[in-house]
């Protein structure tokens, strides 16, 4: 069984608004940088191209028909994975393992600033018979995670008593956060510390857009979206793109690349019906078990040097750390309190700034987190570099209302 490795990475900057660039320009820039990083010609060396995209985010259907030109895939094998970027890494890995492909490009992007109906798009993922009628439709996004949010935006609408008052889909995050806090005895203050840490980490990341020097008190005093979820508990959306180039170990050696190995991955999906599923991160537990087995990780707290976990909401970072086996139930809050998750702690978590600091990249979230892991393992992370990092884990979640998530584990050669 051949080993699969990362030979190229590329990305754009991540910005809340990019009126001068469209998604095609984003894709071209990220892919061109990745191909240059790998030292390859896509028209000669790449055997297959994958784009991770969701038609609803793009605004039209059959999105893969519109991607070959800007990623160098004209008249080449090209497909779309309708899911997060880590799903694309897994699909590329399997293509290479078949022996039919030697080199595969994976791209994912976000042009969230173009979305006028961010909440309505999420609402379309709800069950149309029971869940959607109760939840919407949405009048207008009005929370800090919305592309159109400003300080002058209307206060959150929390009722659904008439046609002018609609509940935004993030009500589900509020319910999940309530459940998590009550079950685990985690506090709102511990969740607030996640926002403080990640936005602080973002100051050392030149491509992050939401670096901010805030206190726990600032988070606690920010306006409520859906209690106990507050505006500063929510990761704002961002525009940007990421591209990875995966290759067989033989090809990597042939071109003289210093590979970072994709040593394990896994994914899992929960039922979409809210009334029949739990509010825990079971998808992360299942996906991590699959990835750990593949990467031969038996003691993640000892064998993994840093992690990038999904933090679209502050409580999710703590919930995911517990699901991944880095803390017992209700114990992740203590890790954020005692500094264990700091860059110089025993489990550096989201050194990039995470989604709270970089921004919510939609389907590119998993690749953004994987980008940070590979950058760290290469030793190219600058001020935020984790000393002697050998193994890193990236974890993603597709967001409200899904129960789908993925995990990727990378190791140095």
User: What share of the chain has pLDDT > 90, as a percent?
Assistant: 80
Strands 48-52 and 229-230: unpaired
Residue 137 binned pLDDT confidence (cut-offs 50, 70, 90): low
Q: What pLDDT shows up at residue 166? A: 58
Check pLDDT > 90 for residue 364. yes
Residues forming a β-bridge with 349:
307
**Which residue's entry shows tokens 């690749």?**
367
Residue 57 binned pLDDT confidence (cut-offs 50, 70, 90): very high
* Cβ neighbours for 318, distance < 8 A, ≥ 6 positions apart: 180, 186, 190, 191, 194, 327, 332, 333, 336
Q: What pLDDT shows up at residue 136? A: 59
What letters, b where the CB count within 10 A reaches 16 and e where it falls short, cover 280-316? Answer: bbbbbbbbbbbbbebbebeebeebbbbbbbbbbbbbb
When the pLDDT of each residue in the chain is averaged and rounded to a whole number, the result is: 92
Q: What pLDDT shows up at residue 135? A: 67
User: What share of the chain has pLDDT > 70, as a percent?
Assistant: 92
Residue 145 binned pLDDT confidence (cut-offs 50, 70, 90): low
Q: Residue 24 to residues 53, 69, 231, 320: CA-CA distances in angstroms?
A: 13, 9, 31, 33
Q: What pLDDT shows up at residue 199? A: 98
Return the structure tokens found at 368. 């953004």
pTM of the model: 0.93
SS3 content of the chain, % helix, strand, coil (to 5): 40, 20, 40
Average pLDDT over residues 187-208: 98
Q: What pLDDT shows up at residue 163? A: 39
Average pLDDT over residues 390-406: 95
User: What SS3 class is residue 317?
Assistant: helix
Residue 151 binned pLDDT confidence (cut-offs 50, 70, 90): very low
Q: What pLDDT shows up at residue 117? A: 85
Q: What pLDDT shows up at residue 130? A: 83
CA separation for the pair 348, 111 (Å, rounded): 29
- Interval 173-188: pLDDT, tens: 999 999 999 999 999 9
CA separation for the pair 259, 32 (Å, rounded): 19
Structural domains in the chain, CATH included, are: 4-113+237-412 (3.40.47.10)
Residues forming a β-bridge with 397:
405
Average pLDDT over residues 77-84: 93
Strands 239-248 and 103-111: antiparallel
Return the structure tokens found at 223. 């306006």
Residue 158 binned pLDDT confidence (cut-offs 50, 70, 90): very low
Higher pLDDT, 124 or 180: 180
Average pLDDT over residues 141-159: 45
Of all helices (H) and strands (E), which one includes residue 45? Answer: helix 42-45
Residue 139 binned pLDDT confidence (cut-offs 50, 70, 90): very low
Check pLDDT > 50 for residue 140. no
Q: What pLDDT shows up at residue 154? A: 41
Return the structure tokens found at 247. 């290759």
Average pLDDT over residues 367-371: 99
Higher pLDDT, 87 or 272: 87
- Interval 306-350: pLDDT, tens: 999 999 999 999 999 999 999 999 999 999 999 999 999 999 999
Check pLDDT > 60 for residue 39. yes
Check pLDDT > 60 for residue 164. no
Cβ atoms 166, 136 nearer than 8 A: yes
The interaxial angle of helices 314-323 and 171-184, nearest 10 deg, is 50
Average pLDDT over residues 371-378: 98
């Amino acid at each position: 069984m051949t080993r699969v490795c990362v030979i190229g990475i590329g990305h754009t900057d991540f910005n809340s608004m990019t009126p001068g660039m469209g998604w095609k320009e984003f894709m071209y820039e990220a892919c061109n940088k990745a191909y240059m990083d790998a030292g390859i010609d896509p028209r000669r060396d790449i055997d297959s191209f994958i784009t991770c995209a969701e038609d609803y985010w793009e605004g039209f259907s059959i999105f893969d028909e519109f991607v070959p030109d800007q990623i160098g895939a004209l008249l080449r094998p090209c497909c779309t994975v309708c899911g997060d970027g880590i799903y694309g890494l897994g699909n590329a890995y399997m293509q290479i393992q078949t022996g039919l492909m030697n080199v595969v490009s994976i791209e994912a992007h976000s042009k969230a600033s173009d979305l006028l109906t961010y909440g309505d798009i999420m609402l379309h993922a709800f069950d149309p018979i029971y869940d959607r009628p109760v939840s919407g439709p949405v009048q207008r996004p009005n929370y800090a995670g919305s592309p159109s949010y400003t300080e002058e935006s209307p206060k959150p609408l929390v009722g659904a008593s008439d046609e002018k008052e609609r509940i935004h889909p993030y009500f589900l995050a509020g319910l999940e956060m309530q459940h998590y806090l009550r079950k685990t005895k985690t506090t709102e203050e511990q969740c607030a510390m996640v926002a403080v840490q990640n936005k602080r980490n973002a100051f050392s990341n030149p491509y992050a857009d939401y670096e901010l020097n805030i206190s726990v008190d600032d988070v606690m005093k920010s306006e409520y979206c859906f209690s106990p979820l507050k505006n500063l508990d929510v990761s704002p959306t961002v525009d940007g793109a990421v591209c990875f180039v995966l290759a067989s170990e033989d090809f990597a050696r042939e071109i003289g690349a210093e590979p970072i190995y994709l040593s394990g991955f896994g994914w899992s999906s929960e039922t979409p019906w809210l009334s029949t599923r739990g509010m825990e991160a079971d998808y992360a537990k299942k996906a991590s078990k699959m990835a750990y087995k593949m990467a031969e990780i038996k003691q993640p707290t000892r064998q993994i040097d840093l992690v990038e976990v999904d933090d679209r909401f502050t409580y999710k970072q703590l919930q995911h750390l517990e699901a991944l086996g880095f803390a017992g139930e209700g114990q992740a809050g203590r890790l954020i309190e005692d500094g264990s998750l700091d860059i110089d702690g025993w489990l550096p978590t989201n050194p990039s700034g995470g989604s709270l600091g970089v921004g919510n990249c939609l389907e590119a979230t998993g690749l953004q987190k994987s980008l940070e892991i590979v950058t760290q393992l290469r030793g190219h992370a600058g001020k935020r570099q984790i000393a002697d990092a050998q193994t890193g884990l990236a974890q993603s979640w597709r967001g409200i209302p899904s129960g789908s998530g993925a995990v990727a584990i990378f190791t140095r050669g």
